[in-house]
Amino acid sequence: MANSTNASAPEASRQAEGHFQNHAPVQREGFRKMVRIMWNMIFHKPRNTRPTTAVPVQRLTHDALIAAPNHSVYRLGHSTVLLKLRDKFWITDPVFAERASPVQWAGPKRFHQPPISLEELPPIEAVILSHDHYDHLDYQAVLKLADKAKYFLTPLGVGDTLIKWGIDASKVRQLDWWQDTEVDGIQFIATPSQHFSGRGLFDGNSTLWASWVMIDADTRIFFSGDSGYFDGFKRIGEQYGPFDLTLMETGAYNVEWPHVHMQPEQTLQAHIDLKGRWLLPIHNGTFDLSMHAWFEPFDRILALAWERSVSITTPQMGEAFNVMYPQRGSAWWLEVEQQVYEQSVG
């Protein structure tokens, strides 16, 4: 089905001199600030930004996924989420690499292995990509999914990158903000986010970033991708809410980059703006990408949700969550920290 534009929706993305822009002006970081941020990230990292014991992972198998009921949702790590809808499988931002980096000998290293390998995954109906950063667009994973996936849904420009990597152009659908496409009866709408793009020193904002709305009959799911907090969440909620489940960025935040990642308080407000029913926090628990403790995003978002009576689920990596029969999950990260404490006093 060809992409279409919702005529009643707000305006599409903007470009200036070949570079995409956020609707709300975002302050550009100066050279000195960027150097200071990198210096602190390299030389002043707190010790607790990575777990020192194993993160629990529930192993998935091909056969178990085939037998799973529809509306099952699985976190595979970071922002990689596997969904089963209409007896088919859909995956967001598949990152299976050991490091979220342009090279595999340096850069942020995984806390845990994926619950299932790329080779074991069942056929994928569509890969849904939010933007081109290394912790969201994994070159090797894309190549391995080239034959396994039927379609790749991307923001503008990201699809061109995939085609350059060898993905069949007939499999790639590139959307601007507020454009939609249909795959096997499920409607996908690329919606705005407030972020940036680039995989090198000279390609900043040359491709678009997006969040995604997924509509399967009466079921509505929102995938945030990466974003700072902005009024776009309220617009999306008005246009397409309420959502049965929101997959919301909750991690890699810092006061030094407030415009492109959300603090947990903002994540919760974005979920409310979207008219979300259940919140599943993602973008955490897999890579060390900021200065906060690895478990802090879980602690903060859980406390905030309880305070505001928001339904929240925190499944382990690989643990099933069913949109039709939702459950809260466990505070599994506390068990990891308890093990650390017991080792330290033992």
The pLDDT of residue 345: 61
> Domains in the chain, ordered, with CATH?
51-345 (3.60.15.10)
- 10-residue mean pLDDT profile of the chain (346 residues): values are 50 85 78 77 89 96 98 98 98 98 95 98 98 98 98 98 98 98 98 96 95 98 98 98 98 95 98 98 98 98 98 98 96 87 61
Helix (H) / strand (E) element for 207: namely: none
Name residue 151's beta-bridge partners. 126
The pLDDT of residue 2: 43
pTM for the model stands at 0.95
The pLDDT of residue 30: 66
* 3-state DSSP assignment of residue 293: coil
Distance CA 115, CA 318 (A): 5
The pLDDT of residue 29: 67
Distance CA 188, CA 215 (A): 7
The full DSSP string for 1-58 is ---EE-TTS----EEETTEEE-SS--PPPPHHHHHHHHHHHHH---GGGS-SSPPPB-
